[in-house]
Amino acid sequence: MSAGRAERQEGAHDVSGQRRATSFDIAHLAGVSQPTVSRALRGSPTVSAATRARIEAIAKQLNYSVDRSASNLRSGSTRTLALLLFRDPSPDETLINPFFLAMLGSIMGACADRGYDLLISFQQLASDWHTDYEDSHRADGLILLGYGDYADYHQRLVDMVAQRTHFVRWGHVQPDQPGLTIGCDNLAGARTATEHLIAQGAKRIAFIGDATDHYPEMKERWRGYAEALAAAGLDRHDALQVDAISTEEDGTRAARELLARGKAFDGLVAASDLIALAAMRVLSAAGLRVPEHVKVVGFDDIPAAAFASPPLTTVAQDAAAAGRRLVDVLLAQIKGEAAQSQVLPTRLIVRRSSGAPLATQGI
């Protein structure tokens, strides 16, 4: 039962039979939500000083006191972890990046092995998911999955650290970021992919993927691509890079934009498999054959990559290991044990889309 339901259903009257004030009464008078009242009365840094003072004054006027037993109940261990999935914008909001689906099975298995239940929830970056969790305490810790715009949720991570929320996220690992992160070696993976295209004879290689601080994972992949070109003495042309997030829709748009710029290219590094698969369809519709005219490499090794036509060469992230690490690092944090962010290695899976000889291709 949630804190709000408990407050509405239990102890509604005092010993004299008079109805006791609730946090919902305070919320109504203060013109805020009930969760905001709960946060304010606990001194949460997510509530402004002015709002907290107004709420405390109303609570005093109503002789309201916090139910400490309910608070203690909420703060106890639930033996449950919460997995929050954040979706990139797309026409069909039910779609989940297949890479995260592959990771989900590993996370579920790791939780079961360690005696924990797993609560799975979709979240919108625009919602107050970080404060909702603090209020409800439906789980002992959070696992955050989904790329999203880092500029949009960075402050949320800072707030969660301030609230001492236990959480770990999958994403780009960097020294100054708040909280703990598990991620893959994006730079090395993309560099290896680009070096592979160069080895297959590609000399004018394009890149589709967001190369800004809004999507640090993709920016690192762009950096790996740029480093490989520089090491090989090949020119990098701004016209051969188009920003795109990891959806087929955006991959299609970006590939069309790349062709419309009229700059010839014979290789393409895509920042995700979803982008790569969409780009191959656009190239085919334009009369360009893969790999004869354009050699293509993706990133993620989602199941569809092996069944594409032609099968897609891609950089594989170990989804099974990633899921286990996320759970282990989060549980260590919950238990007060030493825990730190980790970077996992990647490997190149060679298939026909990059034009490699059959003898070097993966299965």
Q: Could you give the dihedral angle defined by the CA atoms of residues 306, 280, 209 and 144, in that order, rounded to the nearest 10 degrees?
A: -40
Reported as a single tens digit per residue, the pLDDT across 232-274 is: 999 999 999 999 998 899 999 999 999 999 999 999 999 999 9
Residue with tokens 């013109």, as numbered in its chain? 31
Relative orientation angle of helices 34-41 and 49-61, to the nearest 10 degrees: 90
| Percent over 90 (pLDDT), the chain | 52
Give the percent of the chain with pLDDT over 70.
Answer: 82
Domain boundaries, the chain: 1-6+13-58, 79-184+319-344, 186-317+348-360
pLDDT, average across residues 161-181: 88
Domain 1-6+13-58 is classified in which CATH homologous superfamily? lambda repressor-like DNA-binding domains (1.10.260.40)
Instruction: Let me know if domain 79-184+319-344 sits in CATH 3.30.360.10.
Output: no
Q: Do domains 79-184+319-344 and 186-317+348-360 have the same CATH topology?
A: yes
Q: 22-26 contacts: CB < 8 A, separation 24 or more?
A: 22/64, 23/64, 25/62, 25/64, 26/55, 26/58, 26/59, 26/62, 26/64
Tokens found for residue 140: 């002992």
Domain 186-317+348-360 -> CATH class? alpha beta
* pLDDT tens, residue by residue, 189-212: 999 999 999 999 999 999 999 998
| Tokens (6 digits) for 85 | 């999935």
Q: What angle, 0 to 180 degrees and rounded to 10, lies between the N-to-C axes of helices 129-136 and 34-41?
A: 70
